[in-house]
Amino acid sequence: METGLDKEIAKVAEQVRRTDFMWAAGLSGGACGILATLANVPVLQAVLVWMVILMGLAARYYTANVNWSVPVQRAVQNQLVVFQRLRAVMNALPEPVIMLKGDGVVEMANPATAEFVGTEPEGKHMTSIFRAPAVMLALEDAVKSSQPQVTDFVVSGSVDRHCRIYVTPLALEAEDDFDSELIEDRMLVFVSDLSTERRLEQMRSDFIANASHELRTPLASMLGFIETLRGHAREDKEVQEKFLGIMQSQAERMLRLVTDLMSLSSIELNEHMPPETRVDLVKVAEEVRAALSPVAGSYEGTIEVQSLLNDGTQIVEGDRDELIQVVQNLTDNALKYSQEKPKVTILIGRGEPPVLAEAALRTGETAQQISARAGLSAGDLVFIQIRDEGGGIRRQDLPRLTERFYRVDVEESKARGGTGLGLAIVKHIINRHKGGLQIESASGQGSAFTCFFRPSRK
């Protein structure tokens, strides 16, 4: 293939060949002249010999089928391939990598850089791409010391991004045939986005702080009661009975909390392994209704199971105990947080679930989004929806409900035996089943929690 570079190489080779020929012609002419003089050869003969040599040289240089530029082209192309491979490696890296000239201008940058900074960086100065002073300092230090530099900086925006930049001066191995005057300094810059890591660290430490706080409160109150029982209430049977009752409910609360924490941790541990057993969602709903009917009774409420399916069964791939936990947590919440005489309905069906109310607020993925993600048609998706006719949930609370320990009203949740982990457990189980959760709420009309699952393929 004839490229611009090939033409350039051929042109240079042509010049070299011409100069070469002139030299050979000149030298052979001189040699013939000297020989003719020394050996007393007639000029005509010497010229003839020279002409023969010239014709031989011309045949060698111009007529013989020798492409003088080919070896040069090959050598240059080999180097070009190495260079292009390096560029391909750079482009394949998922995080920003930049080759910087000594003056701070970007010579090369991979597509991840353009994505990260939101503009085409090549040819621009680093100061116009990363405005953080820490980055400039790291570059200056790298130039001054010729040593690699690492520094953290924050990219401000609607959401701040915590990043780390590595600046490495690139020293070329000194080789004899390099003209060091022509080789400019280069620096390799690598940027790593640590935001997810930071967020996870923050979540982990918040979680530990929340869990410790939740356990500490009942423990501290129990210690207070023990002290009183051993002190001035030592002889008072009535006070003892009352305090023991409170201590029992505090201990039960701690047990519920520890049980929920353990469930959450075991679900998280298996979250990357979707379950493979077959479970009938209608049976799950019936079981939960039976298990929670005493609770419904205590609130003077009812739980109704409605199947919208033709054949009355809906098999999904799932873990039976986990699916029971999902439906149980949601039904228990629907009973707990609806106002008087709760009416809870568990609906099982396929495709689009019935909407709670036209004006309802919604959070989470829709049936279409989940089926597109799962590679299913929307009609194949299976849902189980738990509806209540309570007061509903406020707009600002809806997106946060599945966060660990998030409660709309902490005192109300505690009074009803809540731990603040119920919906977090539901979300993690649904994630493990590669399903989806949608929450709807209509003020004064109630809430609907819809869990979507994939139908069993077997």
- Kindly list the residues in this chain that would bind ligand ADP in the complex (CB under 6 A): 329, 333-334, 337, 388, 390, 393, 401, 406-409, 413, 418-424, 447
| CB proximity list for 339: less than 8 A, separation 6 or greater | 390, 391
Q: Name which of 117 and 423 has its Cβ closer to ligand ADP.
A: 423
Smallest gap from Cβ 229 to ligand ADP, in A, equals 29
* Dihedral sign from CA coordinates of 45, 46, 51, 53: positive
The amino acid at 103: D
Smallest gap from Cβ 283 to ligand ADP, in A, equals 23
Smallest gap from Cβ 221 to ligand ADP, in A, equals 19
Q: Name which of 187 and 393 has its Cβ closer to ligand ADP.
A: 393
For residues 135 and 226, give the distance between their C-alpha atoms in angstroms, rounded to a whole number: 58
Smallest gap from Cβ 197 to ligand ADP, in A, equals 26
Q: Name which of 438 and 447 has its Cβ closer to ligand ADP.
A: 447
Smallest gap from Cβ 213 to ligand ADP, in A, equals 15
CA dihedral in degrees (308, 311, 313, 317; nearest 10)?
-100
Q: Name which of 192 and 363 has its Cβ closer to ligand ADP.
A: 363
Q: Name which of 72 and 408 has its Cβ closer to ligand ADP.
A: 408
Closest of 391, 451, 389, 387 to residue 423, by C-alpha: 451
Rg (CA), the chain: 40
For 241, the enclosing helix (H) or strand (E) is helix 237-269
Q: Name which of 184 and 340 has its Cβ closer to ligand ADP.
A: 340
Count other Cβ atoms within 10 Å, centred on residue 152: 14
Q: Name which of 103 and 409 has its Cβ closer to ligand ADP.
A: 409
Report yes or no: 395 and 378 within 8 Å, Cβ to Cβ.
Answer: no
**φ/ψ (deg, to 5) at 122:** -60, 135
Smallest gap from Cβ 407 to ligand ADP, in A, equals 3
Closest residue by beta carbon to ligand ADP: 422
Closest of 232, 264, 187 to residue 420, by C-alpha: 264
Report yes or no: 88 and 109 within 8 Å, Cβ to Cβ.
Answer: no
Report the 3 state secondary structure along 116-143. Answer: HHCCCCCCCEHHHHCCCHHHHHHHHHHH
For 424, the enclosing helix (H) or strand (E) is helix 422-432
**CA 252 and chain centroid, separation:** 39
Smallest gap from Cβ 238 to ligand ADP, in A, equals 32
Smallest gap from Cβ 117 to ligand ADP, in A, equals 39
Q: Name which of 9 and 288 has its Cβ closer to ligand ADP.
A: 288
